Structures are given as structure tokens and as C-alpha cells.
Amino acid sequence: MDDIRPNLPPTPTKFMDLFRVFIRSKQMAYRTEKTYCTWVVDFIRFHNMRHPREMGGTQLDEYLSHLAVKRNLSVNSQKTALNALVFMFKQFLKIEVGVLNFIPSSRPKTIPTVFSHEEALAVINQLQGTFKLMASIMYGSGLRRSEVSRLRIQDVDFANGCIIVRESKGMKWRRTLLPKSLIDQLKTQIDTALTLHSKDLEEGFGEVYLPNALHKKYKNAPTSPIWQYIFPATRRAKDPRSEKFRRHHIDESTLQKRVALAIKKACIMKKSGSHTFRHSFATNLLRAGTDIRSIQEMMGHNDLSTTQIYTHVVGIQERGVVSPMDS
């Protein structure tokens, strides 16, 4: 259960516990919580366990410069660290850090690796059953592995031909494509999930975790069919948040490992993984002439510049430029 937040003391006193409580009060995603806490802990250790209340902009500059000069981290990694620490200082501690003057990372941003359509299908065809369908959705709809793992029955809108991504990065909702070629398989998978749910109910279980304490507002929702995961785990497990036995979704790390093995079997000689399907979704839509703002909406990017990285992936050979050797 890699998306379950750890329990905190009823009355937290330690700095990191208090920081986690503050993050959760802002309804931020657990992935963000883990990332921010990792950088804050690293920052504190870098300054020899000095308390953050005793530090400010000078110490932040030193740390961020260290990440660029000594650790040679990428621009994106340094930016993530900056976001985490500024959030801690300004929002949690109410400390202004002033104008920062750190050394920016010199490691350039890299262009995402993508599969061609043939490569994507070659990888997908190395998978079996549930994992093959999950990989097909990542490629066909542009979902992250965490998003496809957490899809619930109500998230697939067959009537309108779309998938609604609710439990996404940044807790933003978005709509994306529902591939017509996957409709029958998805309906079969949903039937399988509902059959398993009925069995759980007969055995005295059948509750599923709901985000944002929705179980308090909608008492019957945890056992409602529409809230069940499309890709449920094979076994029930104790939920540490409530001590109840529940059926969670398939662990996204299991999907990641299956895709990595499939890439190896397909002999794809690229640095790639499950996230490559998402990059390939965007790139192949761009190749097909899809408007970039439509792609931005389906990908759930806040900033168009994030989506525009895919314009660099669509190579110059696709713009009509021919090598002199081939003239």
C-alpha cells in the first residue's frame, strides 16, 4: 500500500510530524508530502541537524548551491527542492526567505524518451491479463501508473467516451480519452472487480478506502460498487489508518516491475519504463496533429510549457528535413 499515509501521534510534537500535519491540512497529495518531507529532512541534515526556525535564506542558498555544484542534480530536482523548502519556510514556519542567490543547476533538461507506436505495442504484447490492460490504458489515455492503479468504476464514462482522472498529481481532476479498442476489455475487468466485491460483502468485508474523509459524509459510499477499484488487489489487507481489512488496488510498483520486464523481453534498447507510455501518448497525439492545448488538458499540465517539451521530441525528420546522404 504505497499510497497510504503513515499514522501520526494524536498530539504531535516533533517538527516533521507537525510539518506532515500541516501538509495534510492543505489537502496535498501524499506523493507531494513524501517528496517535500524528503527534501526538508535532507536540508536539516546538511546543516548538521540545526532547527529550521534558526535558519533562513542564507542557509537555503547554501543548500541549493550544494545540490547544483556538489551533487550535480538536474534543474528539475533543484527546483523541486526549492519548492519544498520555500513551502516549509513561508507557509509552515511563516519565515520570509527574501531574495535568493543560489547557484542554479547547470545540468540541462533532457528530452523525454518515447516509444514509437510499434514499440509501445511490442511492450504491451509482452504483458498478460490485467497488467496488459493497465499498460494499454497508460498508452491509450496518458495515465500515470499511480492513476491507472487507482481508477475506480465510476471513473470510466462509457457513455461519453472518456476517463475521469480524480486521484491525480496535485489532486486535480481531468478528462482524457477512453480508447474504443479497450471498451470491451474494461467492461470485462469491471465485471470481475464487481464479482470480487460481491464476494467480499458476503464474507463481511467490502469497504474500500475513500479520499478526503468522504466516508464521513457518505456513509454507504465505502461499500458502493461505483467506488470500488477497477484493478483490485488479489488479497485483502489491514488498512493502518482504520485497522479495517480492505481490498486495496494493485500496487503500482508491481505494475512498474511488470512493464520493466516486458521492455526487456521486447528488446527495446532505450532508457524507458512505465512512464514512457505517458510520454508516448502525448508525442503520438502531437504527431497526429492534435492541438497542443488539448494535449495539455488531457495530460493535466498546469503550464503549457510543460506540454511543449513534446514538440522537441517530434524530430526534425518529421518536419520534412532530409539528410544530405539521403538526397
Of 20, 144, 197, 279, which residue is the catalytic one? 144
**Cβ 30 vs Cβ 3: under 8 Å:** yes
What is the spatial distance between Cα 64 and Cα 81, in angstroms, rounded to a whole number?
8
Burial class (CB in 10 A: 0-12, 13-18, 19+), 146: buried
R_g of the chain, CA atoms, integer Å:
22
Catalytic residue among 169, 175, 236, 257: 169
Dig out the grid coordinates for 18 from the structure.
Answer: 507537525
- Contact between 257 and 241 under an 8 Å Cβ cutoff? The reply is no
Active-site hit among 152, 247, 248, 278:
278
Catalytic site residue from 36, 209, 229, 310: 310
In terms of C-beta density within 10 A (0-12 exposed, 13-18 middle, 19 or more buried), how is residue 308 classed? Answer: middle
* Whether 63 is catalytic: no
List 109, 275, 279, 287, catalytic entry: 275
- Angle at the Cα of 93 from the Cα atoms of 102 and 61, rounded to 5 degrees: 10
Active-site residue flag, 150: no
Q: Which of 145, 150, 279, 301 is catalytic?
A: 301
**275 is annotated as an active-site residue:** yes
Q: Active site includes 229?
A: no
Catalytic residue numbers? Answer: 144, 169, 275, 278, 301, 310
